[in-house]
């Protein structure tokens, strides 16, 4: 629980003489919060569609300062983690609160490696999907289905059960992600290889076939690891809040993560990386960029520039900066620096950053703007982009679910401003 500031907020309501006193709390960073939890006892609710001004929980995992463009995981800046750490070490940090010692890291990596296989019976689930099913649809199904295999460890009040579930989810996400891709290609599934790193193993399961091995390019593997790392957590975003809300009912963790995957799928959230590439394809040529920027600014046109804007960042997304550098490294390595898609993306970025509309509304490129370009260069099909986001976000979802379950929590149950009809009597059919 956050520290009380000693300050109170006073809410004066027209026609009511006495102000309602609301306690205030301070976190270790960020603005003070006003506790409105007792307002309902006074006969009022707060109204905040989209939860723009609402903190739904206490958390020690991730801090974002959207105005300054700061992102900290357990206090460590994302730029430092991207430069010096890797995805699995960050998973450990998110789950445990501290960086691991060398022995703890080795044990963690080894444990994840030994949970990468999925139950053979799970392979049969895939046959139920159409070959052209979107891989996110498959992921919602098969991650939820994992719970049927682990009846032995679904007691959410048992720390050991929660721990093994975290390992299983982090380890099996890339396996199931690659299987959803292989299924769409009509290719056989490739088993995980524990001698490879997390990112190498994922790329191997994606691109190897039983007829031909796939030599993982270390620069591509590093970029893949970085993409997972940069997506690992982002505090109370829509999918994480969905995981918490589902978890607050006592639902099992596989069901909660499946709910998070469903929430992530939308184009305003994790689906944006796929939408960026689709948008660039629609723009088609640099000469059309001005027309599309004008469309994005037109209030009567629903078109938005995908990969721009963020609910919290009103500055450059710090993940986008790291991603931009990675993007150049990958394209240089692959010898596709002169890629027309990247050229268009760079031109679009420049125009939008100099445009009064985007400056005034503080709309900067976000992480999805660059990740899509990198993934395309690596040869990952567009439909898989959001699946990769989901794989990266899994430790964040679990860390938040675990944080909630580990301390006293209540079922998440928002209220509403009801605007429907007031009570009226049922009208029989012959009187309507």
Residue 308 binds to ligand CMC (criterion: CB under 6 A): yes
Q: Which of 269, 321, 376, 400 binds ligand CMC (CB under 6 A)?
A: 269
| Shortest Å distance, C-beta 320 to ligand CMC | 9
Q: By CB under 6 A, what part of segment 13-72 binds ligand CMC?
A: 50
Does residue 306 bind ligand CMC (CB under 6 A)?
A: yes
Binding flag, residue 296, ligand CMC (CB under 6 A): yes
**Cβ neighbours of residue 364 closer than 8 Å, sequence gap 6 or more:** 308, 309, 310, 313, 315, 316, 317, 320, 353, 358
**Exactly one of 73, 269, 355, 400 is catalytic; which is it?**
269
- Sheet-wide strand order for 3-11: 3-11, 20-26, 33-34
Nearer to ligand CMC, 309 or 392 (CB): 309
The residue from 310, 317, 355, 400 that is catalytic is 310
Alpha helices in 146-288 (DSSP H): 159-185, 198-207, 218-230, 238-247, 253-264, 272-283
Q: Which of 115, 234, 368, 400 is catalytic?
A: 368
- Considering the rule CB under 6 A, would residue 253 count as an interface residue with ligand CMC? no
Report in angstroms how near the CB of residue 362 gets to ligand CMC at its nearest: 8
State yes or no: residue 309 binds ligand CMC (CB under 6 A): yes
Give me the least distance between CB of 359 and ligand CMC, in Å please: 12
Site membership for ligand CMC, residue 368 (CB under 6 A): yes
C-alpha to C-alpha distance for 401 and 205, rounded to whole angstroms: 28
Select 162 or 310, whichever has its Cβ closest to ligand CMC: 310
Show contacts with ligand CMC in window 181-210 (CB under 6 A). none
Q: Which of 30, 361, 379, 406 binds ligand CMC (CB under 6 A)?
A: 361
Assess 372 for contact with ligand CMC (CB under 6 A). Answer: no
Q: Residue 116 in contact with residue 154, Cβ under 8 Å?
A: no
> For residue 339, with 0-12 CB atoms within 10 Å meaning exposed, 13-18 middle and 19 or more buried, which class applies?
middle
Residue 141 vs 307, nearer CB to ligand CMC: 307
Question: Locate tokens 């009912």: which residue?
Answer: 249
Q: Is 310 a catalytic residue?
A: yes
Of 180-188, 262-270, 328-336, 340-348, the window that binds ligand CMC (rule: CB under 6 A) is 262-270
Residue 390 lies near ligand CMC (rule: CB under 6 A): no
Closest CA to 193 of 183, 204, 178: 204
Residue 278 backbone phi and psi in degrees, to 5: -65, -40
Instruction: Give catalytic status of residue 368 as yes or no.
Output: yes
Distances in Å between the alpha carbon of 185 and those of 30, 130, 374?
47, 11, 21
CB of 275 to ligand CMC, least distance (A): 7
Of the residues 310, 321, 376, 400, which one makes contact with ligand CMC according to CB under 6 A: 310
Residue 303 has φ and ψ, to the nearest 5°, of -60, 135
Residue closer to ligand CMC, measured from CB, 41 or 50: 50
Compute φ and ψ for 47, nearest 5 degrees. Answer: -130, 115
Q: Which of 326, 366, 391, 402 binds ligand CMC (CB under 6 A)?
A: 366
Q: Which two tokens stand for residue 321?
A: 């900066």
In a 13 Å sphere around the CA of 18, the CA atoms on its Cβ side amount to 4
Q: What is the largest CA-CA distance in the chain?
A: 80
Q: Identify whether the C-beta of residue 349 lies closer than 8 Å to the C-beta of residue 387.
A: no
Which of 305, 322, 342, 344 touches ligand CMC by CB under 6 A?
A: 305
Q: Which of 68, 268, 281, 294 binds ligand CMC (CB under 6 A)?
A: 268
Closer to ligand CMC by Cβ: residue 244 or 310: 310
Torsion of CA 191, 194, 199, 202, to 10 degrees: 0
Q: Is 328 a catalytic residue?
A: no
Sites of contact with ligand CMC (CB under 6 A): 50, 234, 237, 268-270, 272, 296, 304-311, 361, 363, 366-368
Q: Which residues are annotated as catalytic?
A: 269, 310, 368
């Amino acid at each position: 629980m956050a520290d009380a500031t000693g300050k109170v907020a006073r809410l004066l309501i027209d026609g009511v003489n006495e102000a309602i006193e609301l306690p205030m709390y301070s976190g270790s960073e960020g603005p003070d919060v006003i506790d409105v939890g007792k307002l309902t006892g006074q006969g009022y609710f707060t109204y905040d569609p989209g939860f723009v001004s609402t903190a739904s929980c206490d958390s020690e995992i991730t801090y974002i300062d959207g105005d300054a463009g700061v992102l900290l995981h357990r206090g460590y800046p994302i730029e430092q983690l991207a430069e010096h750490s890797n995805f699995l070490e960050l998973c450990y940090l998110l789950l445990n609160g501290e960086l691991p010692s060398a022995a703890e890291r080795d044990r963690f990596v080894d444990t994840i490696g030994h949970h990468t296989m999925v139950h053979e019976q799970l392979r049969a689930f895939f046959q139920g999907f159409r070959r052209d099913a979107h891989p996110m649809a498959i992921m919602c199904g098969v991650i939820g289905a994992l719970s049927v295999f682990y009846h032995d460890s679904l007691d959410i009040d048992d720390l050991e059960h929660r721990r093994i579930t975290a390992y299983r989810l982090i380890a099996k996400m890339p396996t199931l992600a690659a299987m959803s891709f292989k299924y769409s290609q009509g290719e056989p599934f490739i088993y995980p290889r524990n001698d490879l790193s997390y990112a190498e193993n994922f790329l191997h399961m994606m691109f190897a076939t039983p007829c031909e091995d796939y030599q993982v390019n270390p620069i591509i593997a590093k970029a893949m690891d970085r993409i997972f790392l940069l997506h690992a957590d982002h505090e109370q975003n829509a999918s994480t809040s969905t995981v918490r809300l589902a978890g607050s009912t006592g639902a099992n963790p596989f069901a909660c993560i499946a709910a998070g995957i469903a929430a992530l799928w939308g184009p305003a959230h994790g689906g944006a990386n796929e939408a960026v590439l689709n948008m660039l394809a629609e723009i088609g040529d640099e000469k059309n960029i001005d027309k599309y920027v004008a469309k994005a600014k037109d209030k009567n046109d629903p078109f938005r520039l995908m990969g721009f804007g963020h609910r919290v960042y009103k500055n450059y997304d710090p993940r986008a900066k790291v991603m931009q550098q990675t993007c150049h490294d990958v394209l240089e390595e692959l010898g596709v620096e002169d890629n027309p898609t990247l050229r268009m993306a760079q031109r679009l970025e420049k125009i939008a950053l100099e445009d009064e509309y985007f400056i005034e509304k503080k709309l900067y490129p976000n992480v999805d703007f660059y990740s899509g370009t990198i993934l395309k260069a690596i040869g990952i099909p567009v439909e898989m982009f959001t699946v990769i986001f989901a794989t990266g976000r899994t430790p964040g979802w679990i860390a938040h679910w675990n944080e909630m379950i580990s301390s006293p929590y209540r079922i998440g149950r928002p209220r509403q401003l009801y605007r429907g009809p007031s009570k009226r009597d049922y009208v029989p059919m012959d009187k309507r």
